[in-house]
Amino acid sequence: MAQDDNSGVDLVAADSSHAEQEFAGSTGTAVIPRDAFENPGFEPHRPRVTDENPKREKRAQRTVYTLFYLSILGSVWAIAAYMLFPMESNDVGAVRLNNMFVGIGVTLALLGIGFGAVHWGKSLMTSAESIDIRHPISSTPATQQGAVEVMRQADEESGFSRRTVIRNSLIGALLAFPLPAVVLFRGLAPQDQLPVELLSHTMWRRGTRLTLDPSGTPIKASDVTIGSAFHVVPEGLAELEHGKLEEKAKAAVLLMRLEPSQLNPAPGREDWAYDGIVAYSKICTHVGCPVALYEQHTHHLLCPCHQSQFDVSNNCEVIFGPAKRALPQLPIAVDDEGYLVAQSDFNEPVGPSFWERH
Partner 1 sequence: MSLDRSVTNSMPANRKKLMNRSKRRTGRRHPLATVALLALGLVFTGGAYAALSSGSVAQAEAEPTSQETIEEGKKLFQANCATCHGLDAQGNNGPSLIGVGAASVDFQVGTGRMPMQMQGPQAQVKPPQFTDEQVKQLAYYVASLGPGPDIPADHLVNGGGDAANGAELFRINCAMCHNVAGAGGALTEGKFAPALTGVSGVHIYEAMVTGPQNMPVFNDLNISPEDKRDIITYLKYVQDNRSPGGFELGSLGPVAEGLLIWIFGLGSIVAITVWITAKSN
Partner 2 sequence: MSTATTRSTAPEKRSFTAAASEYVNDRTGIAVAIKGLGRKAFPDHWSFLLGEVALFSFVVVLVSGTFLTFFFQASMAEVEYDGSYVPLKGVEMSVAMASTLDISFDIRGGLFVRQMHHWAALLFVAAIGLHMLRVFFTGAFRKPREINWVFGFLLFVLAMAEGFTGYSLPDDLLSGNGLRIIDGMVKGIPLIGTWTSFLLFGGEFPGTAIVGRLYTLHILLLPALVVALIAVHVGYVFIHKHTQFAGPGRQPTNSVGPPILPIYAAKAGGFMFIIWGVISLIAAMFTINPIWNYGPYDPSPVSAGTQPDWYIGFADGALRLIPPGWEFVWLDRTWSFNILVPLIAIGIFLVLVVGYPFIEAWVKGDKREHHIADRPRNAPIRTAIGAAGVTFYAGLWAAASSDLLATHFSLTMEGVINALQATVILGPIIAYFITKRVCIALQKKDREIVLHGYESGRIVKLPGGEFIEVHQPLDEYDRWRLVSFESYEPLMIRPDARGKITAGQRLRASVSRWFFEDRIAPVTRGELEAAHSSHHAEVDTTHG
Residues from 43 through 72 that contact partner 1 (CB under 8 A): 46, 48-50
Binding pattern to partner 2, positions 308-347, x when CB under 8 A? x---------xxxxxxxx----------------------
Per rule CB under 8 A, is residue 86 in the interface with partner 1? Answer: no
Give the Cα separation of 148 and 151 in Å (integer): 5
**Any contact of residue 80 with partner 2 (CB under 8 A)?**
no
Instruction: Tell me: does residue 309 bind partner 1 (CB under 8 A).
Output: yes
Dihedrals φ, ψ of 274, to 5°? -130, 105
Nearer to partner 1, 80 or 100 (CB): 100
Closest to 234 measured CA to CA, from 207, 256, 258, 269: 207
Query: Tell me, what DSSP letter sits at residue 124?
Result: I
Asked if residues 309 and 302 have their Cβ atoms less than 8 Å apart, the reply is yes
Instruction: Confirm or reject binding of residue 293 to partner 2 (CB under 8 A).
Output: yes
Residue list 200-219, contact with partner 2 (CB under 8 A): 213
Q: How far is the CB of 78 from partner 2 (least distance, A)?
A: 9
Measuring CA to CA, which residue among 83, 65, 84, 61 is closest to residue 73?
65
Contacting range for partner 1; rule: CB under 8 A; set: 70-78, 135-143, 182-190, 300-308 = 300-308
Select from 82-90, 164-172, 271-279, 339-347 the region that touches partner 2 (CB under 8 A).
82-90
Interface with partner 1 (CB under 8 A), residue from 1, 13, 72, 95: 95
Q: Which of partner 1, partner 2, none does residue 230 bind (CB under 5 to 8 Å by kind)?
A: partner 1
How far is the C-alpha of 276 from the C-alpha of 157, rounded, in Å? Answer: 87
Q: Write the DSSP string, 150-217.
A: HHHHHHHHHTTTT-HHHHHHHHHHHHHTTHHHHHHGGGGS-TT--HHHHHH--S--TTPBEEETTT--
If one asks whether residue 293 binds partner 1 (CB under 8 A), the answer comes out as yes
